[in-house]
Amino acid sequence: MADTAKPGHPGGAHDDSNRRDFLFMLTGAAGAVGVASVAWPFIHFMNPSADVLALSSTEVNIEPIKVGQSITVVWRGKPVFIRRRTSEEIKQAADVNIKSLRDPQPDSARVKKPEWLILVGICTHLGCVPLGQKLGDPRGDFSGWFCPCHGSHYDTSGRVRLGPAPANLAVPPYAFLTDTTVKIG
Amino acid sequence: MTGAPAMLDNKLVKWVDQRLPIFTMMQHSAIDYPTPKNLSYWWNFGSLAGFMLVVMIVSGVFLAMHYTPHVDYAFASVERIMRDVNYGWLIRYIHMNGASMFFIAVYIHLFRGMYYGSYKAPRELLWWLGIVILLLMMATAFMGYVLPWGQMSFWGATVITNLFSAIPFVGNWIVTLLWGGFSVDNPTLNRFYSLHYLLPFVIVGVVGAHIWALHTTKSNNPLGIDIKGPQDTIPFHPYYTAKDMFGVGVFMVVYALFVFFAPNLLGDPANYIPANPLQTPAHIVPEWYFLPYYAILRATPDNFIGSWMGFTLVPAKLAGVILMFGSILLLFVLPWLDTSRVRSARFRPIYKWVFWLFVICCAALTWAGSQPPEGPALWVARLGTFYYFFHLIVLMPLIGWFERPLALPKSIAEPVLSGGKA
Ligand code: HEM
Ligand code: FES
């Protein structure tokens, strides 16, 4: 390097190598940004597309559901549980000591009208559909739902009480359009 | 034994070889390759795995000609292959049972390596490449099983992709990315098909590196001692080409018994029910080759680690996932966990027995994985999981440290020439 440094350029070699280092790093950084900006489209390509995202909502007529009955509807390809709870079930859900729960939530934070419990019917463990919707289904030790996959028990508010699931059954966004129609999503 | 390649006498061969030394390479790696003269039949399973990889690619490429990767047609297209396509049933049963035969060969190959210490220096990278192949095979088989879009396809895919949601902070983002939607659905099926087609060819590449590393370090052998000189080896061809072909013949008899007489024995009948996203089968089980990991996944009690004053450090879900992946990833460090300098268990009076306990432990986990996680099966899963890690993390270093190995023979040739009494 020293040989090629221009005469009359004191310490030229040193300056030169600094400048080269800088250019080298600059080129490297530009290259990294380039690679990242090309990688992102490929990653994002795999994310839900616009048509999948287009927020679909489902309107459900809940009039025919009798007290104590449950129905399952589909929203965004997922099962949604609608249960018209008995007064006993409501009481059972409200009487729980919140502090003893794995995912502490009062029942009141999970319903708009205590009679109607609306949940995404997907176990928060690994995504199975818990049993307990149909008559004769096992409902677990807490009279709510029982996930057969790895044995999670949910109570009458859809809160996890036993088993490997880390969280309560999710509550989807919904609104009562009238007393007998609810819009999910 | 490494004379000038005889095939180079041919003028055309010579012309090609001078420009692209492909014949010289074949001569070196498949004909002259100096192989220990004492290899037992346990050494057949490497070539059997290679054979199965070829079978899977050939049968898969043909299946792809009639298969439709769409949620509305996938199940029907596979049924069409079974009923209407000429010999479709044969090609599909070859592919379906081939996956099982592939795993049988690879698992025996792997246990062989563990018994004879094939993972120890200088073969660590060879061992690593083998584990990479195992992981790629698992991904391939998992995604392949989703393609027929039956109940087990759908729910297996749902449960396994949901495992990633256990990863803190980015988990749910990753799961959505895997799905391309809000549940396992058409985008998921399409990308799994794309990857199911791709990964076997990636495996071919890694197998190439695996064999390259093998030919650099040379094969281990039942005595676990190094090759000392030409008197210890014989050329690969014709000795081991013939032996490997014989092995393929025997293996194919077993394979054919499955294909022709019990094609659905290893499968789950629930996969002949079309996928239904609203109804989970009462009992989800993966294919047999995933059962041990599935048992480990479900073995962790609630709030497994650090459940303390109502505060959970690692929730059961995450613990199960960590243990499951850890059970395989731990194999990467096996060369350093094993502190014994003797390779072959034949000269390790204690490890010899402990190895079989480990095999029994894996078999017990396989059984436990097939059962619902309750009662005795759950306890077998828990004990088995404990012992699996205990074996690798505690017993391997400990035994190597206090065990007194038997005297090693001076060379491979010596016991071979003295009639195999080692
Ligand atoms: C490492 C090699 C491979 C393994 C372990 C493997 C494994 C599997 C498995 C377990 C299935 C499900 C079979 C069933 O239950 O029906 C499957 C299906 C399928 N595989 Fe592969 N496969 C491999 C290579 C390939 C290749 C290279 C292709 C080429 C495209 C392919 C194409 C297919 C197709 C189209 C199906 C759906 C048809 C069916 O389900 O029978 N596979 N694969
Ligand atoms: S998916 Fe429900 S308990 Fe595992």
- In-domain check, residue A126: yes
Nearest C-alpha of chain A: how many angstroms from B320?
Answer: 9
Q: Do residues B53 and B90 share a domain?
A: yes
Q: What is the CATH number of the domain that holds A145?
A: 2.102.10.10
Nearest C-alpha of chain B: how many angstroms from A49?
Answer: 7
Write the Ramachandran bin of B150: left for phi over 0, alpha for psi from -120 to 50, otherwise beta.
beta
pLDDT digit string (tens) for B377-402?
999 999 999 999 999 999 999 999 99
- In-domain check, residue A143: yes
Task: Kindly give the pairing relationship between strand A160-162 and strand A181-184.
Answer: unpaired
Which one has a higher pLDDT value, B307 or B159? B159
Q: Do residues A109 and A168 share a domain?
A: yes
- In-domain check, residue B22: no
Q: Do residues B338 and B232 share a domain?
A: no
Residue B325 has pLDDT above 60, yes or no: yes
Q: Do residues B300 and B349 share a domain?
A: yes
Average pLDDT over every residue of A19-44: 93
- Share of residues in chain A with pLDDT > 90 (%): 62
A127 contacts B317? CB cut-off 8 A? no
- In this structure, of A128-142, B33-47, B95-109, the range with the lowest mean pLDDT score is A128-142
Which residues on A lie below 8 Å from B283 (Cβ)? Answer: 148
Structure tokens at B245: 């072909």
Q: Do residues A102 and A41 share a domain?
A: no
Structure tokens at B43: 């050494």
Angle among Cα A62, A138, A151 to the nearest 5 degrees reads: 115
- Could you count the other beta carbons within 10 Å of the beta carbon of residue B407? 7
Average pLDDT over every residue of B258-267: 97
Contacts of B100-104 spanning 24+ positions with Cβ under 8 A: B100/B258, B100/B266, B100/B287, B100/B288, B100/B289, B101/B52, B101/B251, B101/B254, B101/B255, B101/B258, B102/B49, B102/B52, B102/B53, B102/B55, B102/B56, B102/B137, B102/B141, B103/B137, B103/B141, B103/B289
- Could you count the other beta carbons within 10 Å of the beta carbon of residue A22? 10
CA distances B362 to A140, B335, B355, B366, B399, Å, are 31, 20, 11, 6, 20
Average pLDDT over every residue of B141-166: 94
Q: Do residues B266 and B292 share a domain?
A: no
Q: Do residues B348 and B267 share a domain?
A: no
Closest by alpha carbon to B153, among B75, B59, B259, B57? B75
CA of A7 to the centre of ligand 1 (A): 70
Residue A56 has pLDDT above 80, yes or no: no
Query: How many residues comprise chain A?
Result: 185
Domain ends where: B254, B280, B306? B280
Residues B82, B98: Cα–Cα separation, whole Å: 16
- In-domain check, residue A115: yes
Cβ–Cβ under 8 Å, residues B193 and B127: no
Q: What is the mean pLDDT of chain B?
A: 92
Q: Do residues A25 and A90 share a domain?
A: no
Q: Do residues B239 and B313 share a domain?
A: no
Structure tokens at A162: 């036993």
Predicted ipTM of the assembly: 0.75
Instruction: Determine the pLDDT at residue B338.
Output: 97
Range of the domain at A41: 12-47
Q: Do residues A147 and A82 share a domain?
A: yes
Q: Do residues B296 and B318 share a domain?
A: yes
Selected catalytic residue, list B17, B244, B268, B338: B244
CA of A122 to the centre of ligand 2 (A): 9
- Share of residues in chain B with pLDDT > 90 (%): 83
pTM of the entire predicted model: 0.88
Instruction: Determine the pLDDT at residue B415.
Output: 67
Number of domains into which chain B is organized: 2
- In-domain check, residue A101: yes
> Which residues' Cβ are closer than 6 Å to ligand 2?
A 123, 125-128, 147, 149-152, 163-165
- In-domain check, residue B103: yes
Q: Do residues B150 and B134 share a domain?
A: yes
Which element (helix H / strand E) includes A69? none
- Longest Cα–Cα distance of chain B, Å, equals 82
Residue A145 pairs in a beta bridge with A154
Q: Do residues A107 and A16 share a domain?
A: no
Range of the domain at B325: 285-422
Number of domains into which chain A is organized: 2
Q: Do residues B172 and B73 share a domain?
A: yes
